[in-house]
A and B are shown apart, each in its own frame.
Chain A
Amino acid sequence: MIDERHQEAAALYALDLLEGAERTAFETALTSDRALRRLVAQLRETSADVALLASPAEPSAFLRERILADIADRSPTSADHTIPFRLPFWAGWAVASCFIVATGYFVGVNFNTRSQFNALRENERLARIEAKAFSNQLEAERLISRRQIDSLRLAQADIAELKNQNALADLKIDSLASLVANTPDARAIAVWNPHTQEGVLTVAKLPALADGKDYQLWVVDPQYPIPVDGGVFQVDPVTGEARVTFKPNKPVATVAKFAVSLERKGGVPKAEGTMMLLSY
């Protein structure tokens, strides 16, 4: 029994009035309903009869010849000219077998793919954990390095301090006294840093220099036969004071004494004039 809804659809379908989803749905229903197909065939025949309501009319006499002329050189698409294709009786079983094999194959592929996917996910998880651990380790090492750098800086500071203290310990401080009777109060203090090969000389109450004269400092080092030139200097003509930084013109290994002599202007390579002051 065909329900009214399908009867209505069949009538509309027979008149080609069904469209879109309605048509698709009805054609789907047709494939599985033999009675519906029979009804559609009947209604198509009936609807074709409706054409006979048209007033009889006759085409022009030339149309027949025109049509026959047009098909004169054409061959119809005859069923005799085509090779009918019939499926062998075992085709259904073959298709079913192929389907089963294909299903098995794809199930296997699916299983393998899932396994690989799960393995990849596990690997990814482990890699994440490892990366996290590595990151933590890097952070820890960074902190340790920072501490080590800070410690190193402190150590460097300590070393510098120690070196400074050591340098102070190595400083040589000498007092120089007058060797000239008419200037008995003349004094000097020389401070020598062997590491920097520099020193500071402070003098007081030396006689004012005459024109063309300079005082010259000498550093007595036993490795040299004559004292090493420490440079010339002038004093305040009123107070006889001076404070000069000196740097000998040769490397000095050991300072035995300092001496100051009165030399001609600009100094001399070897002491010639009066020896004014000497370490004591």
Chain B
Amino acid sequence: MDADRPHFMSSPAAIIPPDEEKNAVDAQILQRVAAGDHSALGELYDRFSRPLFSAALRILNNAAEAEDVLHDVFVTLWDKASDFESSKGHAFSWALTLTRNRAIDRLRSRKRRSEILTQALPADLGYDEAADAKLDSAGNLWLKEKAAAVRTAVATLPADQREALELAYFGGLTQQQIAEKLSEPLGTIKARIRRALFKLRDVLTPQL
């Protein structure tokens, strides 16, 4: 365990696993899923469902559709668990990427995309502190701490970079569409996204 890293002890009563330990546990559960352990998928659901659903809901702005996406993602995890290679990434990131891709595919298939985007992109990050307060288990506390770290890191970004990054991640838009939406040259948008993502990496990697 890395002594330089904070352990995200936000509550004295809860033991919050550090990233590496949490990722290792995720990988083990995924291995059990690959072996056909149905209960393992239930465990994975308990660990991943909230952030995945939150991301899908943020992208789709529709709970029923977000649940459909979540359903598809977990069925895919069940089917493709054996494809996962822990050396190439973390199970949680893999699940998030699956969720985002499915949600964006669904979003792009909708004709009312622009309407959804307008609704889904408030001036601030749209974060619901009240919902956050409901998280209480150890895994969820880890998630809460991590989400807080991400929010803090994103908050340090210049507004234009943050906006470009959020549109890129949640909006399901192409580079060109982002440039048009923000009325900026394409090169400027590319540079903003690059700077934002690199800064987040630099901030989050040593912390998480």
Q: Which residues of A contact B (CB under 8 A)?
A: 4, 7-8, 11-12, 14-17, 19, 41-60, 63-64, 66-68, 70-72, 74-82
Is A56 touching B38 in the complex (CB atoms < 8 A)? no
- A62 shortest CB reach to chain B, Å: 9
Q: Which residues of B contact A58 (CB under 8 A)?
A: 49-50, 53, 131, 134
Known: A19-B174, A41-B89, A66-B71. A80 touches B82 (CB 8 A): yes
- Least CB separation from B202: chain A residue: A46
Is B150 touching A71 in the complex (CB atoms < 8 A)? no
- Cβ-defined partner of B67 (8 Å) among A8, A14, A41, A63: A63
Q: How many residues of B contact A (CB 8 A)?
A: 75
Complex-state Cα separation, A77 to B101, whole angstroms: 21
Is A71 touching B78 in the complex (CB atoms < 8 A)? yes
- B157 shortest CB reach to chain A, Å: 11
Complex-state Cα separation, A96 to B208, whole angstroms: 47
22 A-B pairs, CB-CB below 8 angstroms?
Answer: A4-B194, A43-B198, A48-B96, A49-B150, A50-B150, A50-B169, A51-B51, A51-B58, A52-B146, A53-B58, A54-B57, A55-B58, A56-B51, A56-B135, A58-B49, A58-B134, A67-B70, A70-B75, A71-B38, A76-B35, A76-B79, A80-B82
Is B201 touching A42 in the complex (CB atoms < 8 A)? yes
Is A57 touching B57 in the complex (CB atoms < 8 A)? yes
Known: A70-B71, A71-B41, A76-B36. A57 touches B169 (CB 8 A): no
Is B79 touching A77 in the complex (CB atoms < 8 A)? yes
Known: A52-B147, A56-B131, A77-B82. A67 touches B71 (CB 8 A): yes
Complex-state Cα separation, A19 to B132, whole angstroms: 36
Complex-state Cα separation, A82 to B80, whole angstroms: 13
Q: Which residues of A contact B146 (CB under 8 A)?
A: 49, 52
Is B82 touching A56 in the complex (CB atoms < 8 A)? no
Q: Which residues of B contact A41 (CB under 8 A)?
A: 88-89
Query: Which segment, of B1-9, B10-18, B109-117, B122-130, faces chain A?
Result: B122-130
Known: A11-B193, A52-B143. A64 touches B201 (CB 8 A): no
